[in-house]
């Protein structure tokens, strides 16, 4: 991996600040995303993975910390022009292909909305040509341009969502559970498409999901979140072969696999946060256990994890 595209430093996103119901959705997390890679983000619902994605793209204003995109602070004060430039570089694909397309707009207008805003087409003809080309890229055809969202199946809608994200020629795409609303056979189609586009256009992805086997398949590196914290960050293979944090181990032990024999002998590990028994003021942070493999732990646990880690090799 070469260049850092995105640096997240001590990002915090709290809701209901100062009220009794304060929620620390994202609580002091740091990670980098390199150019051309796919970073997977997994965790159970409510762990803050979607909030992280949304904060990165400025859908929320961060409570604390900073996000640097190509060295520029995403949440810093920007002029309208700078903001527009930034918005063109970063795009998002949403989870629910039914809710994320305006039912009263034609497909061509949905896809071209970004093209219009950024003035990427000089004439109506060029605009339409761009839309046709995008539809082709995602495996639909130009007859689809004049239809409305309700005429499409879930998988096709997700393709439209992808075409819309690609319309402004972004560098970085945040995919927030893009396949969890789809059937197994359709999931494979969308994942293949995302991979193909990444190769052709040198895109960088943040792939948020809770389906762990799909995440393993698409990601180069994976971050595991638990209650607003990043607990482990490692190359995809390494994470599955040598999960270190007890929460990661519990998560991996729960993945159902299409193999009855394996399922009969499966043992699930439960995770209890109180096994850590951190003392007050103990220094708990991300520590590098082997090159590129980070775990959130205390100094004491770090020694333990490290000892165990080497045995497994």
Partner 1 sequence: MKKLLEVKDLHISFHTFAGEVQAIRGVDFDLHEGETLAIVGESGSGKSVTTKSIMRLLPQGNSEIKSGEILFNGENLATASEKKMQKIRGKDISMIFQDPMTSLNPTMTIGKQIMEPLIKHRNLGKKEATERTIKLLDLVGIPKPETRLKQYPHQFSGGMRQRVVIAIALACAPKVLIADEPTTALDVTIQGQILDLMKDLQKKIETSIIFITHDLGVVANVADRVAVMYGGKIVEVGTVDEIFYNPQHPYTWGLISSMPSLDSQDEELFVIPGTPPDLLHPPKGDAFAPRNPYAMKIDKEEQPPMFKVSDTHYAATWLLHPDAPKVEPPLAVQERQAKFHASIKGDK
Per CB under 8 A, residues contacting partner 1 are 44-45, 153-154, 183-189, 191-192, 195, 210-214, 216-217, 240, 250-251, 254-263, 266, 268, 271
Closest distance of CB 254 from partner 1, Å: 4
Q: Please, what is the minimum distance in Å from the beta carbon of residue 199 to partner 1? A: 11
DSSP type of residue 269: P
Q: Map tokens 């490692």 to a residue.
A: 234
Nearer to partner 1, 260 or 291 (CB): 260
Q: Pick from 205, 200, 204, 180: which is nearest to 190 by CA?
A: 180
Q: State the residue for tokens 């995809």.
A: 236
Q: How far is the CB of 73 from partner 1 (least distance, A)?
A: 33
Q: Which is nearer to partner 1, 136 or 183 (CB)?
A: 183
Q: HSE-up of 289 (CA within 13 Å, CB side)?
A: 32
191 or 230: CB nearest partner 1: 191
Comparison of 102 and 217: residue with beta carbon closer to partner 1: 217
Q: For residue 173, report the phi and psi dihedrals to the nearest 5 degrees.
A: -125, 130
Q: How far apart are CA 239 and CA 229, in angstroms?
A: 17
Residue in the structure block whose two tokens are 């995770």:
271
Burial class of residue 78 (count of CB atoms within 10 Å of its CB; 0-12, 13-18, 19+): middle
Reading the block at residue 250, the tokens are 């519990």
Q: How far is the CB of 82 from partner 1 (least distance, A)?
A: 38
Other beta carbons within 10 angstroms of residue 128's beta carbon come to: 15
Least separation in angstroms between residue 217's CB and partner 1 is 4
Q: How far is CA 313 from CA 172, 306, 309, in A?
A: 35, 12, 7
Nearer to partner 1 by C-beta: 117 or 184? 184
CB of 239 to partner 1, least distance (A): 11
Least distance between partner 1 and beta carbon 113 (Å):
27
Residue closer to partner 1, measured from CB, 45 or 61: 45
Looking up tokens 């708990």, which residue turns up? 284
Alpha carbon dihedral 43, 296, 216, 173, in 10-degree steps, equals 70
Q: Which two tokens stand for residue 282?
A: 């103990």
State the Cα torsion 15-61-71-28 to the nearest 10°: -10
Q: How far is the CB of 111 from partner 1 (least distance, A)?
A: 21
Distance CA 45, CA 42 (A): 9
Q: Which is nearer to partner 1, 161 or 243 (CB)?
A: 243
Q: Whose Cβ is closer to partner 1: residue 112's or residue 224's?
A: 224
């Amino acid at each position: 991996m070469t260049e850092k595209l995105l640096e997240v430093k001590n990002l915090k996103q709290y809701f209901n600040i100062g009220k009794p119901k304060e929620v620390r959705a994202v609580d002091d997390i740091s990670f980098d995303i390199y150019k051309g890679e796919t970073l997977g983000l997994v965790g159970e619902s409510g762990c803050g993975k979607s909030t992280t994605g949304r904060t990165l793209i400025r859908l929320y204003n961060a409570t604390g910390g900073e996000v640097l995109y190509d060295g520029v602070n995403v949440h810093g004060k920007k002029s309208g022009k700078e903001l527009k430039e930034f918005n063109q570089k970063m795009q998002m694909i949403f989870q629910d292909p039914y809710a994320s397309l305006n039912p009263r707009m034609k497909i061509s207008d949905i896809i071209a909305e970004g093209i219009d805003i950024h003035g990427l087409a000089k004439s109506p003809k060029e605009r339409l040509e761009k839309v046709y080309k995008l539809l082709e890229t995602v495996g639909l055809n130009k007859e689809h341009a004049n239809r409305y969202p309700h005429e499409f199946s879930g998988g096709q809608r997700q393709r439209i969502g992808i075409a819309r994200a690609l319309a402004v020629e972004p560098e970085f795409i945040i995919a927030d559970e893009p396949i969890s609303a789809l059937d197994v056979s359709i999931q494979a189609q969308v994942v293949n498409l995302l991979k193909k586009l990444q190769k052709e256009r040198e895109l960088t992805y943040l792939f948020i999901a809770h389906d762990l086997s799909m995440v393993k398949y698409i990601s180069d590196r994976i971050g595991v979140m638990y209650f607003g914290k990043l607990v482990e960050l490692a190359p995809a293979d390494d994470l599955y072969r040598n999960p270190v944090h007890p929460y990661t181990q519990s998560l991996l032990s729960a993945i159902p696999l299409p193999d009855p024999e394996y399922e009969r002998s499966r043992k699930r590990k439960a995770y209890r946060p109180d096994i850590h028994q951190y003392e007050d003021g103990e220094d708990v942070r991300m520590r590098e256990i082997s090159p590129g493999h980070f775990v959130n732990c205390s100094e004491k646990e770090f020694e333990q994890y490290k000892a165990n880690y080497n045995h497994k090799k």
